[in-house]
Chain A
Amino acid sequence: DAMVIQNPRYQVTQFGKPVTLSCSQTLNHNVMYWYQQKSSQAPKLLFHYYDKDFNNEADTPDNFQSRRPNTSFCFLDIRSPGLGDAAMYLCATSRDGTGQGRTDTQYFGPGTRLTVL
């Protein structure tokens, strides 16, 4: 049974045309993460939500925004995609995160591969 679902699996957009990627989870986890992964590299964290609290990474461009309207859903908005934003975008969840010595697992979705023309 799918636990972290990402839609679409493949997204093609034009340079500068806004795009939204979707993530949903059936685990009722508190924390949701968005990562960007380029070819054969490790995932790079863009931001995460602990419940409704948004945590942005310092080096995440302003071009990337996120929304979490409820526990189950989280969206990644790319306002003006550039060629350098072509990548795999991964959503992950964890029950309570890994801070303060907790050891919760992060569960990843299958990813959305974004192509920018």
Chain B
Amino acid sequence: TQLLEQSPQFLSIQEGENLTVYCNSSSVFSSLQWYRQEPGEGPVLLVTVVTGGEVKKLKRLTFQFGDARKDSSLHITAAQPGDTGLYLCAGASYNTDKLIFGTGTRLQVFP
């Protein structure tokens, strides 16, 4: 069974702080997607990483895919209250049409 563990599970920080969320597995994925979900809404795609070692930046968010394509990280610089939400990583498997979702990280950024 493929599993994706995210850490930390919960994170409460002050505006302006930096943070990193980790997404780890023992399985290899063909790609990995990061989503942010706000209360009462569906997940919204932030980025897809495909190549081992790939780094993508989206304004203050930096995403990295591990060299072996088993893990990923999301780094937020100078967090803002608008970054508050549930962050989900999701790995794409070679053998099925479905995503394996991580356990989620709930981020709260206080003004």
Contact (Cβ within 8 A) B42 A98: no
Q: Which residues of B contact A20 (CB under 8 A)?
A: none
Q: Tell me, yes or no, whether A109 is within 8 Å of chain B by CB.
A: yes
Contact (Cβ within 8 A) B101 A98: no
Q: Tell me, yes or no, whether B66 is within 8 Å of chain A by CB.
A: no
In the assembly, what is the distance between CA of A42 and CA of B87, in Å? 9
Contact (Cβ within 8 A) A42 B94: no
Residue of B with least CB distance to A113 = B40
Residue count of chain A within 8 Å CB distance of chain B: 32
Q: Tell me, yes or no, whether A21 is within 8 Å of chain B by CB.
A: no
Contact (Cβ within 8 A) B40 A33: no
Contact (Cβ within 8 A) B97 A99: yes
Q: Which of B44, B97, B98 contacts A108 (CB 8 A)?
A: B44
Q: Tell me, yes or no, whether A70 is within 8 Å of chain B by CB.
A: no
Known A-B contacts A41-B104, A98-B93; A103 and B43 likewise in contact (beta carbons under 8 Å): no
Q: Tell me, yes or no, whether A110 is within 8 Å of chain B by CB.
A: yes
Residue of A with least CB distance to B50 = A103
Q: Tell me, yes or no, whether A97 is within 8 Å of chain B by CB.
A: yes
Contact (Cβ within 8 A) A97 B97: yes
Contact (Cβ within 8 A) B98 A33: yes
In the assembly, what is the distance between CA of A41 and CA of B43, in Å? 12
Contact (Cβ within 8 A) B92 A40: no
Known A-B contacts A90-B43, A105-B48, A108-B44; A42 and B95 likewise in contact (beta carbons under 8 Å): no
Enumerate B13-59 residues with CB–CB distance to A below 8 Å.
30-31, 33, 35, 40-45, 48, 50
Having A42-B101, A98-B93, A108-B43, one finds 12 other A-B pairs with CB under 8 Å, namely A41-B103, A97-B97, A98-B96, A98-B97, A98-B98, A100-B95, A102-B30, A105-B45, A106-B90, A110-B42, A111-B40, A111-B41
